Amino acid sequence: MKEKELIIKYAGKRFYDEGFHKISMDEIASGLRMSKKTIYKHFPTKDNLIESLIDYECEYHLIKEVAILGQKIGVIKMILQMIEFNLGDLSKYSEKWIQDLQNLKPELWDKYLQFKHNKHDTYFKKLMAQGRKEKLIKDIPLELILSGIESIVKNVLHSDFLVRNNLSINQALNYSIDILVSGILTEKGNKIYRKEKKLLKLFKK
């Protein structure tokens, strides 16, 4: 693994667990057993490191989701795999990380949400259109469905929502997405959905 990627991955693990405002670049260097000079060679400031981490995550998402969409499987299974990947990925974020982004780096938080919006607009649109063609998804305007998905992500990833409802990120996403997906599928689509989701780790208490 290259030096730069190693730093991003280690910093990501620390930041996702503990937030970033109390973790210094010295601590990152110490944890990696690298010199501070090496860290600063790749990331002159902590802000650079945080933004690079966001960019790294976005690129990782694109690669994974393109791979999912490239499979020769049914639309419902593809939707479920997309949900499973996103739930698993989002569940690694602690409330501290989300709070730090929202409160201390709102421009990076907005960048992350914009990435989510663009991704949903591109990939979910294709899936929903194919699902409607196969009579698996109800004839609901695509923009309304995408707006629903986007609202779930924005609300659930807001720390106040989680605290107010005494839910973890994973629980909130599980419940919200299950309600949304069940609601947009036809009877035929829901039969496949109920069968397929039992095979995955989704929606299990």
**Confidence (pLDDT) at 176:** 81
Residue range of the domain that includes 109: 3-197
Does 156 score more than 80 pLDDT? no
Residue 6: pLDDT over 70: yes
> Is pLDDT of 158 > 70?
no
The amino acid occupying position 114 is Q
Exposed / middle / buried, residue 76 (Cβ in 10 Å: 0-12, 13-18, 19+): buried
Kindly state whether residue 202 falls inside one of the protein's structural domains. Answer: no
Number of domains into which the chain is organized: 1
Candidates 92, 132, 106, 120; CA nearest to 177 is: 120
- Please report whether residue 146 resides in a domain: yes
CA 94/CA 169 separation, integer angstroms? 8
Of residues 179 and 87, more confidence is placed in 179
* Mean of the per-residue pLDDT values of the chain: 86
Per-residue pLDDT reduced to its tens digit, 21-51: 999 999 999 999 999 999 999 999 999 999 9
What pLDDT is recorded for position 127? 86
Q: What is the pLDDT of residue 120?
A: 66
* Closest alpha carbon to 105 in 47, 153, 166: 47
Mean pLDDT calculated for residue range 80-84: 81
In a domain, 29, yes or no: yes
pLDDT of residue 201: 58
In the structure, what pLDDT confidence band is assigned to residue 203 with cuts at 50, 70 and 90? low
Please state the rounded mean pLDDT for residues 98-107. Answer: 93
Tell me how crowded residue 55 is: count the other CB atoms within 10 A of its CB.
15
126 or 39, higher pLDDT: 39
Question: Residue 80: inside a domain, yes or no?
Answer: yes
Phi, then psi, of 34 in degrees rounded to 5: -115, 160
164-191 per-position pLDDT tens digit: 777 777 777 778 888 888 999 999 999 9
With 60 as the cut, is the pLDDT of residue 205 above it? Answer: no
CA 203/CA 103 separation, integer angstroms: 30
Q: Region 71-94: what's the mean pLDDT?
A: 83
Phi, psi values for residue 98, rounded to 5°: -65, -45
Is residue 205 a part of any domain in this protein? no
pLDDT bin (cut points 50, 70, 90) of residue 159 is low
DSSP 71: S
**Range 137-163 average pLDDT:** 76
Q: What is the pLDDT of residue 173?
A: 74
Residue among 89, 76, 107 nearest 169 (CA): 89
Q: Is residue 204 part of a domain?
A: no
Q: Is residue 106 part of a domain?
A: yes
> Tell me, what CATH number does 126's domain have?
1.10.357.10
> The tokens of 76 are what?
């419902």
pLDDT band at 155, cuts 50/70/90? confident
The alpha carbon dihedral of 6, 18, 171, 137 has a sign of negative
